[in-house]
Structure 1
Amino acid sequence: MGRHREYDVEKVLDAVLDVFWRKGYEGASYADLTEAAGVQRPALYSAFGNKEVLFRRALERYSERYMDHIPEALAMPTSREVVAHLLHRSLELNTRYLERTGCLGINGSVAGSDESEPVRQALVEFRAAGESRLRARFERAKEEGDLPPNADPDALAAFVMAVMHGMALQAKAGFSREKLMAVADQALATWPGSSCREEQAAASHVALPAD
């Protein structure tokens, strides 16, 4: 009979996720991963495969455990509320843990060698999938009249993703949550549509002019 596994696979996966989140794909050494997991390298790779497969599993777990704000945002009634929820919840996640700031998807791909190209491509696809869902939501918002006729859903989705990625990098660089909130609010202040005008007018106690 084979030996029984003496470790909790779920806890091991959480441990290596934390390492990849802090150090990125290339920055995480085999020694880092095995030390965090509390198992020897042969046992680790017997359960999960090589480092690339292990990172992919960690990315899946990150998406499952930490990215619930994305479907929540896409279900919001207006495009501006979608973006506000995405930006505010993303920056909260990026600054939630002092020992692992930023975003796993961004931290994992800041630098890469030729050998890590498959991982870089997986992260490109990970982010592209998110942008595609956001673009589809903005297309619906335009059809519903929530966005003006001249709005470009593709450009808006790319803009939101760029802001989110920039905030993730800034969080990793030590920017405070307050400063990142100001960045998010500045991005929201430029959002097209009547809902943005109404909120800005209410905030400044200035009545909107009659159409």
Structure 2
Amino acid sequence: MSEEAVAAPRQRRRRAPDPRALATRRRILEAANNLMYVRGVNSTSIDDVLEASGTSKSQLYMHFPDKLTLIREVVKFRGQLVLEREQGRLERFRTFGALRRWRDALVKANDLQKGAYGCGLGSMASELSDQDEQSRQSLSEMFAAWELLISDGLRRMQKAGSLREEADPDRLATFLMAALQGGYLLANAAHDVEPMAVALDVALEQVKTFVVDKPARSGG
């Protein structure tokens, strides 16, 4: 019997992940994510996470051997949450009106906390980009994926004939993302969502200059 034939049954006999362990890991990540969003990464201690998650040190260290590992996993966890949210809003948009509704949803959500805490990804990037290269790279890839959702939608607009051919979807997507992140930062400093709304409105006005106006219907 070949080694491959012997190995196959062993692989099938591997124990499935313990649902309780997975639930504990998820609880730790959720607690750490919430704390690091509100307090910041550097101001959140392991003891804070233990208290918020209701877990012991042995449970936490079984899944995350040190704080840096936990931080990196929180980056992935938060990134997945943000990108899933943005995919729901941007994955199929193909009109300027849909882009405007995306702006409205972001501003409304940030207004619920009066602009405090900023963007979930942006706030981590400002703390971690010069501290941990792995986290910086992960965050950079997440922002790129977010921008791609926007640029893909702008390309759909071009394909549908509602965005002029000379428009550059990639540059416009970067411009929108820069306006969004700058808006989050100013709203956080002011604890007022208005700067964010203004930044996005001006960026959308730039995009609108490339929108093809539909001809008015003739009467009769």
Check conservation: 2:180, 2:199, Cα contact below 8 A: no
Q: CA deviation at 1:146?
A: 1.6
In structure 2, which of residues 183, 190, 210 is the aligned counterpart of residue 193 of structure 1? 210
Which deviations, in whole Å up to 9, do the C-alpha atoms of 1:98-140 show, x marking residues without a partner?
Answer: 6963112111121347652211221111111111232222223
Check conservation: 1:20, 1:104, Cα contact below 8 A: no
Matched, 1:121 2:137: yes
Task: Tell me the equivalent position of 2:40.
Answer: 24
Which sits farther off after the overlay, 85-94 or 165-174? 85-94
Task: Tell me the equivalent position of 1:170.
Answer: 186
Matched residues, percent identical?
25
Check conservation: 1:48, 1:54, Cα contact below 8 A: yes
In structure 2, which of residues 146, 149, 153 is the aligned counterpart of residue 133 of structure 1? 149
**Could you tell me how far apart the structure 1 residues matched to 2:110 and 2:61 are?**
29
Name the amino acid aligned to 1:72.
Answer: R
**Could you tell me how far apart the structure 2 residues matched to 1:49 and 1:94 are?**
34
Task: Tell me the equivalent position of 1:155.
Answer: 171
**Could you tell me how far apart the structure 1 residues matched to 2:176 and 2:73 are?**
26
Q: CA deviation at 1:55?
A: 3.0
- The structure-2 alpha-carbon separation of the partners of 1:49 and 1:24, relative to structure 1 and needing over 3 Å to count, comes to same
SS of residue in 2 equivalent to 1:68: helix
Check conservation: 2:79, 2:142, Cα contact below 8 A: no
Task: Tell me the equivalent position of 1:71.
Answer: 88
**Could you tell me how far apart the structure 1 residues matched to 2:91 and 2:130 are?**
35
- The structure-2 alpha-carbon separation of the partners of 1:180 and 1:114, relative to structure 1 and needing over 3 Å to count, comes to closer
Name the amino acid aligned to 2:153.
Answer: R
- The structure-2 alpha-carbon separation of the partners of 1:184 and 1:18, relative to structure 1 and needing over 3 Å to count, comes to same
TM alignment of 1:1-150, pairs within 5 A: 8-65=24-81, 67-78=84-95, 80-97=96-113, 101-112=117-128, 115-150=131-166
**Could you tell me how far apart the structure 2 residues matched to 1:98 and 1:34 are?**
28
Which sits farther off after the overlay, 170-179 or 157-166? 170-179
Query: Unaligned stretches of 5+ in structure 2?
Result: 1-19
Check conservation: 2:31, 2:52, Cα contact below 8 A: yes
- The structure-2 alpha-carbon separation of the partners of 1:50 and 1:100, relative to structure 1 and needing over 3 Å to count, comes to farther
Which deviations, in whole Å up to 9, do the C-alpha atoms of 1:36-65 show, x marking residues without a partner?
Answer: 223333321213443343234434443454
Q: Aligned Cα RMSD in Å?
A: 3.2
Query: Unaligned stretches of 5+ in structure 1?
Result: 199-207
How many residue pairs match? The answer is: 195
Task: Tell me the equivalent position of 1:204.
Answer: none
- The structure-2 alpha-carbon separation of the partners of 1:93 and 1:45, relative to structure 1 and needing over 3 Å to count, comes to farther
Which sits farther off after the overlay, 181-190 or 103-112? 181-190
TM-score calculated relative to the size of structure 1: 0.74
